[in-house]
Amino acid sequence: MKNRTKVLIVEDEMPMAMLMVNVLTRVGCEVEAVCTGKKAMELAAHMRFDLITLDIRLPDANGLELCTELKQRHISRKTPIIFISASPSKQDIAEGLERGAVDYITKPFEATDFIYRIIFHAQRKHLSESNAI
């Protein structure tokens, strides 16, 4: 049996987090959701995820800095990160991608587009890992 895609959602707006969890769970993903950078770092230190979605503005952290920190840790170094933010700022988008994110989705978003991009980047990770063997 194929393993389910494991996604960590880091989102401080509860309605948005629940929407993301519901959409991804319906397509067969295993989802963990947290609302702070501290909780995200704790989970990412102990669990392997296929993908992380990260809000830029969190109550206790800057998502851009969190991305850099996640990319420096052994366990999450190769995990694709997608920023999900209400900010369509070209500067935030550029900085997010420079810090190692693979994509940037602006809120509000279409559920179908969100699912496609999550699955696409998770599958790319699996393909690169299987080709490395």
For 66-89, how does the pLDDT look when each residue is reduced to its tens digit (9 = 90+)?
999 999 988 899 999 999 999 888
Identify whether 133 is part of a domain.
no
Q: How many domains does the chain have?
A: 1
Domain hosting 48: range is 6-128
pLDDT bucket at 64, cuts 50 / 70 / 90: very high
Q: Indicate which CATH number applies to the domain containing 15.
A: 3.40.50.2300
pLDDT bucket at 1, cuts 50 / 70 / 90: very low
Please, are residues 37 and 61 in contact by the beta-carbon 8 Å criterion? yes
Identify whether 88 is part of a domain.
yes
pLDDT tens for residues 15-52? Answer: 999 999 999 999 999 999 999 999 999 999 999 999 99
Identify whether 75 is part of a domain.
yes
What pLDDT is attached to residue 133?
A: 55
pTM of the model: 0.92
Identify whether 73 is part of a domain.
yes
pLDDT tens for residues 94-109? Answer: 999 999 999 999 999 9
Identify whether 1 is part of a domain.
no
